[in-house]
């Protein structure tokens, strides 16, 4: 099976794939809330689910910043080399 076939298969099943990914994220946050911790090192360790949400928000922000930089700095017009 070619990589293009795998990518097309994932695109065809995008709603299901999104539900699975959101479910895994939800289970991660739930596990972070339910599993007891040892003694807190940082003050944020006392907030249930903080590090899961922090990682999720951080990944989202990093993705948006990188995508924005790509659109501003890297992408060129179609006729860029013809000019």
pTM of the predicted model, to two decimals?
0.60
Between CA 65 and CA 71 the distance in angstroms is: 10
pLDDT digits (tens, 9 = 90+) for 7-38: 899 899 999 999 998 899 889 888 888 888 78
pLDDT digits (tens, 9 = 90+) for 40-80: 888 888 888 888 889 889 999 999 999 999 888 888 888 87
In terms of Cα–Cα distance, which of 36, 32, 30, 35 is closest to 51? 32
The single residue listed with the structure tokens 């599993």 is 35
């Amino acid at each position: 099976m070619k990589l293009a076939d795998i990518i097309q298969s994932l695109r065809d099943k995008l709603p299901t794939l999104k539900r699975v990914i959101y479910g895994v994220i939800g289970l991660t946050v739930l596990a972070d809330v339910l599993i007891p911790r040892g003694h807190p090192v940082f003050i944020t360790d006392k907030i249930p689910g903080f590090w899961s949400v922090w990682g999720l928000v951080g990944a989202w922000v990093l993705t948006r910043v990188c995508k924005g930089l790509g659109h501003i700095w890297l992408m060129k017009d179609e006729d860029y080399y013809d000019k």
